[in-house]
Amino acid sequence: MPPKAIVTLAALATLALAACGPAKKTGVTQEMTKQPFGKTPEGEQVELYTLTNSKGMEVSVMTYGGIIVSLKTPDRAGRLADVVLGFDNLDGYLKGHPYFGAIIGRYGNRIAKGRFTLDGVTYKLARNNGENHLHGGIKGFDKVVWKAREAGPQSLELSYLSKDGEEGYPGNLSVTVTYTLTEAGELKIDYQATTDKPTVLNLTNHSYFNLAGQGEGDVLGHQVMIMADRFTPVDAGLIPTGELRAVDGTPFDFRMPRAIGERINAADEQLKLGKGYDHNFVLSGAAGTLRQAARVVEPKSGRVMEVFTTEPAMQLYTGNFLDGTITGKGGKVYQHRYGFCMETQHYPDSPNQAAFPSVVLRPGGRYQTTTVYKFSASHS
Ligand code: BGC
């Protein structure tokens, strides 16, 4: 671990007006702290920023991959636990991992056969998931060092310039991702981007949650609600077939709260293909407006996570590929289904599926999406 030299960046959120006499604090002290978190093999310095609110909630984000390294929220008795999977130090992340906590780009999820055609030009991308392209390629946004700027007392802005041709994608893409922690227990993520050539883009965050606490068992008992009437069935490579299938009468109907584990082993072709849930849900309501996508309750701790997004869809991934080979924070071993992801997004493979909402960004346009993960505790 690097030395714990904690540098206070944003000193006080609320200060008395010091018109006359000494300044007095009238509100809570809220600090964003920064500490060195190690160096990449290329020698780039990585920093860890920690945001806190007055309820004791705490989020740490590092500049490598914009990764959420820890997220501590209270249970119904006020006890804090870290509810995201990850590692204690940078080395753990550098050794390779399944995208724990990271910003995903340029394209979250899969692009079939690692290619797409835009304005008559065919672009070739890495095939890093069988014959398909996954999560931005070999060195996606999860593996670059982002430039950090304090955008407010509890608001961390990360920016990155992805060069024309990076990982095969066209256009110099200027990306900004801002993490904000609010007093209402929300972790708000704002994504923005502009380009100088037509390109495709689908940014998300890949946190693995376990509301019982990271490493504290599997997530099968979590009660999940997803505001979606339809989902996009996939083929064996997890590429959408193009169909938007009604969830009615399937294990994909989460319109009423259901435990993740209740139907996960059902004799369902789609669950077999995903080895569990690894599917894109088409969210109800108008894309572009911030609306509720999901609600998750962990019954024992009472921790609740609600997801709100402007995105048209959300991938539910239930950690089907975790297999006990990764030892994470505090020496916890991440076994099968020890975490779940709720990746707000556009549909997978949209660049190749004209009937799906467009993921094209053109010069002069601005990509702008927001996702909020809101934490609370249920007393019932
Ligand atoms: C994908 C999974 C994949 C995982 C990477 C998820 O977003 O949908 O299929 O295995 O990311 O660990």
Cα–chain center distance at 323: 21
In this prediction, residue 18 carries a pLDDT of 32
Minimum CA distance residue for ligand 1 atom 7: 109
Question: How far is the centre of ligand 1, averaged over its atoms, from the C-alpha of 100 (Å)?
Answer: 10
The CA distances from residue 19 to 15, 22, 23, 26, 29, in Å, are 12, 8, 8, 14, 20
Residue list, ligand 1 pocket, CB within 6 Å = 98-99, 238, 278, 315, 317, 321, 341, 343
pLDDT digits 0-9 by tens, 145-194: 999 999 999 999 999 999 999 999 999 999 999 999 999 999 999 999 99
Pairing of the two strands 186-195 and 173-181: antiparallel
Minimum CA distance residue for ligand 1 atom 12: 98
Whether 298 shows a pLDDT value over 70: the answer reads yes
One of 206, 222, 279, 346 is an active-site residue; which one?
206
In this prediction, residue 30 carries a pLDDT of 65
> Quick one: which atom of ligand 1 is closest to the CA of 206?
7
What is the arithmetic mean of pLDDT over 215-230? 98
Contacts of 62 (CB under 8 A, 6+ apart): 37, 46, 47, 48, 49, 69, 90
Question: How far is the centre of ligand 1, averaged over its atoms, from the C-alpha of 274 (Å)?
Answer: 10
One of 47, 167, 306, 343 is an active-site residue; which one?
343
Q: Residue type at 127? A: R
The encoded tokens of residue 217 equal 């068992």
- Helix, strand, coil % (nearest 5) of the chain? 5, 40, 50
Question: How far is the centre of ligand 1, averaged over its atoms, from the C-alpha of 317 (Å)?
Answer: 7
- Ligand 1 probe mutation, 134, 143, 203, 239, most atoms within 8 A of CB: 134
Whether 217 shows a pLDDT value over 80: the answer reads yes
> Quick one: which atom of ligand 1 is closest to the CA of 274?
9
Contacts of 30 (CB under 8 A, 6+ apart): 10, 12, 13, 52, 53, 54, 153, 154
Active site residue 343: yes
Pairing of the two strands 80-82 and 341-345: unpaired
What is the arithmetic mean of pLDDT over 294-309? 98
Whether 208 shows a pLDDT value over 60: the answer reads yes
Whether 331 shows a pLDDT value over 50: the answer reads yes
Report whether 320 contacts 86 (CB < 8 A).
Answer: no
Whether 294 shows a pLDDT value over 50: the answer reads yes
Whether 15 shows a pLDDT value over 50: the answer reads no
Report whether 158 contacts 141 (CB < 8 A).
Answer: no
Tell me how far apart the alpha carbons of residues 254 and 282 are, in angstroms, rounded to a whole number: 12
In this prediction, residue 131 carries a pLDDT of 98
Provide the Cα torsion 325, 97, 223, 243; round to 10°: -120
Pairing of the two strands 223-226 and 367-377: unpaired
Per the prediction, the chain carries an average pLDDT of 93
Tell me which residue has tokens 């670059």: 144
Whether 11 shows a pLDDT value over 60: the answer reads no
Question: How far is the centre of ligand 1, averaged over its atoms, from the C-alpha of 316 (Å)?
Answer: 9
In this prediction, residue 25 carries a pLDDT of 37
Question: How far is the centre of ligand 1, averaged over its atoms, from the C-alpha of 256 (Å)?
Answer: 25
Alpha-helical segments (H) within the chain? 90-94, 269-274
In this prediction, residue 4 carries a pLDDT of 38
- Ligand 1 probe mutation, 321, 336, 349, most atoms within 8 A of CB: 321
Minimum CA distance residue for ligand 1 atom 5: 98
Tell me how far apart the alpha carbons of residues 141 and 104 are, in angstroms, rounded to a whole number: 6
Whether 13 shows a pLDDT value over 50: the answer reads no
The beta-carbon contacts of 263-267 under 8 Å, at least 24 apart in sequence, are 264/220, 264/318, 264/337
Pairing of the two strands 121-124 and 115-118: antiparallel
Phi and psi at residue 274, to the nearest 5°: -85, -5
In this prediction, residue 31 carries a pLDDT of 76
pLDDT digits 0-9 by tens, 24-49: 333 455 679 999 999 999 999 999 99
pLDDT digits 0-9 by tens, 336-369: 999 999 999 999 999 999 999 999 999 999 999 9
Name the DSSP letter for residue 178. E
Question: How far is the centre of ligand 1, averaged over its atoms, from the C-alpha of 346 (Å)?
Answer: 15
Minimum CA distance residue for ligand 1 atom 9: 278
In this prediction, residue 379 carries a pLDDT of 82
Sign of torsion over alpha carbons 87, 140, 341, 158: positive
Overall pTM surpassing 0.85 (yes/no): yes
- Ligand 1 probe mutation, 135, 207, 347, most atoms within 8 A of CB: 135
Three-state secondary-structure class, residue 337: coil
Share of the chain above pLDDT 90, in %: 91
What is the arithmetic mean of pLDDT over 264-291? 98
Contacts of 54 (CB under 8 A, 6+ apart): 28, 30, 183
> Quick one: which atom of ligand 1 is closest to the CA of 98?
12
